[in-house]
Every structure is written in C-alpha cells, then in structure tokens.
C-alpha cells in the first residue's frame, strides 16, 4: 500500500442505495452487475484480510475495479470471483484483489518537510547512533525508502526496511528504475551521488546506484497482521495509509508501530492524516510527526 506511500482509493459518485451496480461490458452486449449482497461479501473480505474500510457509496468503485478482473478471468458474477479468491490456497488471488481495489500514488520527496526533518535528526538527534534504522511501512513502489536513504546518507551507516502489502509494487521497488520526471524535486547533487542515468533503450530513466540500493531491504507485510520481531527503529514512515482504516484498525496499527520505535524515535504519518481519536503513548511534535517519549532536557528539533 501506502503508501510516498500508501494506497489511494479512487473517488466515485455512486449511491450506496442501489441494489446492483454495473461493472461494464464483458463484450459489447454483456454487463456484470454487482449486487448489494456481493458488495457486502467483498467489503467484508477486504476488511477482514486487509483492514480496508469499504463503506457504502464505494459500490461503483468496486464494480469498476474488480469488473476488469472478472472479464479477464471469465467469471460471470462477482460471487463466482469471490469464491475463486477464497479457494486460492496460494493467496495470489487475494493479493490481486487488493491491488485491484487500491492504487499506489507516490513520488520522490513527497511531503518534503519529512525528509528535511529526517536530515536534521540524523545530524542532531541521532548523531551518536552508529547505524540508523528506518522502516518505510507501506512503501509503495520504492520512492519513499530510496529518498530516506538519500536523506540519511552519507552522515552515517543506516539500514532501511521497506514493506508493502502489494507484491506488484514491491517488484517495481526492488528494480529501482524510474522515469527521469519522477526526480523533479530531487536536488542535482543527490542525482549525481545516488543515481545512474540510463542510456540507449534506458534513456529517460534513472536507476538507484547499487551501493545505495543494497542498504534497503524490501519485504511484503500486511499492517493488520503481527509484525516480525526486529530491533526497534529510530524512524518509521507510515504515511497516507491509515486514512483508509476505521478507528479500531488505526488504533491497533499505531500501537504496533509505537512498539517498534526506539526511545526518542519518530513516527511520520501523512500530512492529511492525524492520530486524533487514536489512543497511543507517542508525543506530538509538529504536524504529521510524533515521537516515542520526549528525551530529558528537550531537543532542538522539538517545536
């Protein structure tokens, strides 16, 4: 997901009162209808497995997004597709469902203030840290963790773990190849230091240099499932994701994230998000920025 990070649900203007919504034609003369019961089946599945809160009013979105999948697989009803997803022991159909229901919008240095804050923290708050540990949760197609690596380097050693629920976007992230236009906000000195410009067939693209890319570890993770045990992180980015969860799911995720932070570590959420109404032990620092316990004596980075 995530999203730099996170899934962005497409907007729609559908009414939740309709009994059936068209998914579009299978052929020029055939349409698939999404019934109210089928919508409940799919929305319940999305919530139970991924925490996605598909409220009434999202029927047209579900019909349009999954209708493409139905036509491709040859199913005649959404109920048939639902049974197919449940019967797939590999879990791939379930991942394809979440990919179809979400889209990953991201860019390099999206919400730039967070990276500027991280750069200051590296040089001030964490100046005594030998290896900076950063987690990019809901990393999408990789722009966020690579930007984290650029902001952290070359001040000291660092290790970045980048996770997302989508195997599709993780595949793109691991390649580390992006159109030149995605780097419009990246400073020229960063481009020279951390990127390789493509030539020939790769003209118009940048590739993240191996020495930077090898510091980023990608892995699939569903944020509503138990987190693997690791050394606590100094910084966690979990941005533009929690807005798609209901409050109980948000609370569960934030408490897990807080438990993965070092004392004095930072959690960044999206600037359109807040933790208002979510119980947690983190301290508010500035918009979209929280800290795990304020250190004795304060800090120059506290606002």
| Residues known to be catalytic | 65, 164
Question: Who contacts 86 (Cβ-Cβ below 8 Å, separation ≥6)?
Answer: 45
Provide the token pair at 74.
Answer: 């040859």
Q: Are 57 and 15 in contact (CB under 8 A)?
A: yes
Residues 6+ apart with CB under 8 A from 159: 131, 132, 133, 134, 215, 217
Peptide bond into 164 cis (omega under 30): no
Q: What is the dihedral of CA 122, 125, 131, 136, to 10 degrees?
A: -60
Q: Who contacts 162 (Cβ-Cβ below 8 Å, separation ≥6)?
A: 135, 136, 139, 142, 144, 145, 173, 216, 217, 218, 219
Could you tell me how far CA 15 lies from the centroid of its own chain? Answer: 28
302: nearest Cα among 109, 112, 124? 124
25-47 burial: b if 16+ Cβ within 10 Å, else e: eeeeeeebebbeebbebbbebbb
């Amino acid at each position: 997901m995530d999203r730099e990070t996170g899934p962005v649900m497409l907007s729609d203007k559908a009414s939740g009162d309709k009994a059936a919504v068209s998914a579009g034609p299978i052929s020029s003369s055939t349409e698939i209808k999404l019934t109210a019961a089928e919508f409940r089946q799919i929305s319940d599945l999305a919530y139970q497995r991924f925490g996605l809160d598909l409220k009434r009013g999202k029927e047209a979105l579900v019909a349009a997004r999954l209708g493409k999948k139905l036509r491709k697989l040859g199913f005649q009803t959404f109920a048939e597709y639902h049974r197919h997803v449940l019967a797939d022991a590999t879990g791939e159909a379930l991942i394809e469902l979440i990919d179809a229901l979400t889209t990953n919008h991201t860019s390099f240095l999206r919400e730039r203030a967070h990276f500027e804050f991280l750069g200051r923290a590296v040089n001030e708050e964490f100046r005594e840290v030998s290896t900076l540990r950063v987690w990019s949760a809901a990393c999408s197609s990789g722009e966020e963790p690579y930007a984290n690596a650029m902001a952290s380097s070359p001040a000291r050693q660092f290790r970045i773990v980048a996770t997302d629920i989508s195997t599709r976007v993780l595949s793109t992230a691991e390649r580390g190849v992006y159109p030149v236009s995605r780097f419009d906000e990246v400073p020229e000195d960063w481009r020279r230091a951390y990127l390789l410009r493509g030539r020939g067939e790769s003209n118009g693209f940048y590739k993240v240099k191996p020495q930077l890319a090898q510091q980023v570890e990608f892995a699939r993770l569903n944020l509503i499932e138990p987190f693997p045990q690791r050394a606590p992180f100094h910084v966690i980015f979990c941005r533009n994701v929690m807005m798609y969860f209901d409050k109980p799911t948000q609370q569960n995720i934030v408490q897990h994230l807080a438990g993965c932070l070092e004392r004095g570590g930072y959690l960044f959420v999206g600037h359109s998000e807040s933790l208002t109404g979510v119980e947690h032990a983190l301290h508010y620092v500035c918009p979209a920025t929280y800290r795990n316990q304020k250190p004795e004596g304060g800090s120059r980075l506290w606002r």
